[in-house]
Amino acid sequence: MNKHIITQTLTLVLAIFSSVNCFSQERSCGMVEHMAQQMQDPDFAREYEKNQEKFREALEKNLRTNGSVYNRLNPIIIPVAVHFPSGQESDRVCLEALAQTQIDILNADYSATNSDASLWNSASSNYPGVVHGAANIEFCIATLNHPTDFVGNPIDPDLVEGEPAVTIGYNFGNGGDSDSNWSGYMNFLVKNAGGGILGYSPLGGSIGAGQSVVISPSAFGSGSGCTGYSPGSPYNLGRTVTHELGHFYNLNHTFSGSCNTDDGIADTPNISQPNYGCSTPGSISGCVSGESALTMSYMDYGNDSCLYMFSEGQTNVVDSYISGVLQSQFKPNTVACNSTQQDFILTSINGPISSCPTTAEDAVFEFDYTALSGFSQSVTFSATGQPAGSTITFTPASLNASGPFTMTVSGIENTDIGTYEIVVLGSSSFFIEQTTEVVLNNNCTSLQCTPFDSEENLELVIPDGTGPNVYGAQLQTTITIPDLGAITSLTVNVDITHTYIQDVVAVLYHPDLTTNAVLWLRDCLDEGAFDITFDDNGSDIVCADPTTGVYAPNETLSVFNGMDSAGDWLLLVVDGYNGDTGVVNDWSLEICSEQPLSSPELNTNLEQVFVYPNPNNGSFTLELKSDTSNNVSIDIYDVRGRKIHKQAYTNSGNFKQVIELGNIESGLYLMTVSDGQRKTTKRIIVK
């Protein structure tokens, strides 16, 4: 070979876009057109470039260290979900079986254990320097920890925990080809790919973004198929998925439309055009004199029965992309494969625990222990990473069959506040081990409620309405609140004198000037005043002259829960009818939040930490006042305790950084900010 290994760059991809047309009367692939469209999206292009950088680093490291990537003892287990959006639930048994035929094909094709791999023995003489490759991966349809919505209900009500992650009739991605609900899975989406093509995939895909490999119903799996999903000759051996999945794992076609560009793999002979049907090995010349097209490569266009191998260079790319880019994106605790890598699974049920137990109470984490494939050895539980000074006990201390167990963290009432990643280890006497992580957050805090009053006797005149049911100018008055952390609850007192209080509307605004709650909405009639404390737990308003007491507002104040307290809170009052006037006498806020029971140095040295906007769409600015040059580390966890983001930044003193979380689900997240040994935790709300 006279080619050198080159890494795949955006320049190469764009060159391929302009020179190759995947459509043909034979095998057809939509990867190029799909990527050309997707790369118009700046977010997609940005993630693509980041993933390519990670891939290049992983490939270089693997080849420098190993010479070949395939030398590890255990394969990487890839959790798979299969989606049949046009299928019928009554056909589930058949469709699950069809999905499994495809998984079996992939496991054989990528590990070079397919029955026709032996054809390489006679063909190899035509390809000096080419080695039949074997990827170090194993595919398994996920059976555990199926996706749920924010309240814990299954995304697909027909999915049964413990059964395969096969959705039927589920509207994956609202008709698109990515779905954030299925982030963390290798998704196969079986639907009409359009344009007469057999399938398509992003080149260098993202499991974290919930992207999928799209396959035509006529090219998925093997056998007789099911209603609406029938593999058709000559693409009825599942090799279309093998091909498209190669793209997802960063493999280009072996052809590029020109001899001036190639696929970036040193041991695949350079060719300009695809090869269809079943070509005799060595019968088609390559771009370099003396080289022949590797027509049996899964990344060419032959019939399924005539594609049977990856080269070692191709599987090095696959292994490096999966280990360097995708493996960290896998959703944990989802698969129970018959693999040497797993004999049992530990699954966290209720982490993280996000507030401090009161004195003499404990933090109790719940787990499931699942023994796989008849595994019956006794497994003993232990843990590391708990707060210094606390103790951990397991109940029971060990198990030899599937069942629940708990971990109790005791004595934490006087430990330092912070975020603790507790690693739970299950181990047997035969050195078989599995781990899982849980998070203990904000230990040793108490609920503290702080009142803030406006000036007394404000006597702010409310502009009168300008006609019947025509609102006058707005009256605005503010109270400045310091940073008390995330709001747990709040109440508002408003004191207004008016000759006809049904004219009045009063609204409370958060300092973001967007989030608001209507307190008083032209309630009652001609009563002359109200002095009301608005509380979500209050009763319905009872009108009197004057109206006083504790009542529920028209819109709940819980809309502010979880938000930061700091800033100027605004009370807006308007009059909706002419002829009657009034004044705002005064108003007040009482804000409740969790505060440390003590003030250890670890937290108080990072008091001036600001996050804005919050809530946000996954993009926000973090700013902190620092008197050190220590690197700033940021760790972000979801409400189940899974770390979704980790990054370290250099720090020149006054630190300010835009954090991009990408395509992330709405909800509450916990962000730990560390400056050397000093640390604090903030709540992030993504809408």
**Buried/exposed 153-191: b ≥16 CB within 10 Å, e otherwise:** eeebeebeeeebbbbbebebbeeebbbbbbbbbbbbbbb
d(CA 540, CA 370): 50
d(CA 474, CA 459): 15
- Which residue is catalytic, options 96, 244, 291, 437? 244
Query: Please, which residues have CB within 8 angstroms of residue 95's CB and are 6 or more apart in sequence?
Result: 82, 84, 87, 166, 168, 226, 229
The one-character DSSP state at 481 is E
Question: Which strands form 475-481's sheet, in the order they lie side by side?
Answer: 475-481, 567-575, 504-509, 516-521
d(CA 14, CA 11): 5
d(CA 302, CA 294): 10
- β pairing state of 398-399 and 344-348: unpaired
The one-character DSSP state at 631 is P
Pull the structure tokens for residue 29.
């692939």
Pull the structure tokens for residue 409.
């963290």
- β pairing state of 504-509 and 516-521: antiparallel
SS3 assignment, position 352:
coil
Q: DSSP letters along 136-149, please? A: SEEEEE--SS--B-
The answer to whether residues 134 and 111 touch, using CB atoms and an 8 Å cutoff, is: yes
Q: Which residues pair with 302 in a beta bridge?
A: 277
The answer to whether residues 262 and 216 touch, using CB atoms and an 8 Å cutoff, is: no
Alpha-carbon separation of residue 499 from 36, 89, 164, 412, 478 (angstroms) = 67, 64, 67, 56, 24
| CA proximity to 237, closest of 225, 224, 222 | 222
Tokens 């027909």 belong to residue: 158
Question: Which strands form 379-384's sheet, in the order they lie side by side?
Answer: 398-399, 379-384, 419-427, 433-441
SS3 assignment, position 501:
helix
| CA proximity to 203, closest of 243, 251, 242, 239 | 251
Q: ∠81-210-204 over CA atoms, to 5°? A: 100
d(CA 558, CA 577): 30
Task: Let me know if 244 is a catalytic residue.
Answer: yes
Tokens 């966890």 belong to residue: 637
Taken in order 233, 214, 262, 136, the sign of the CA dihedral is negative
Residues identified as active-site: 244
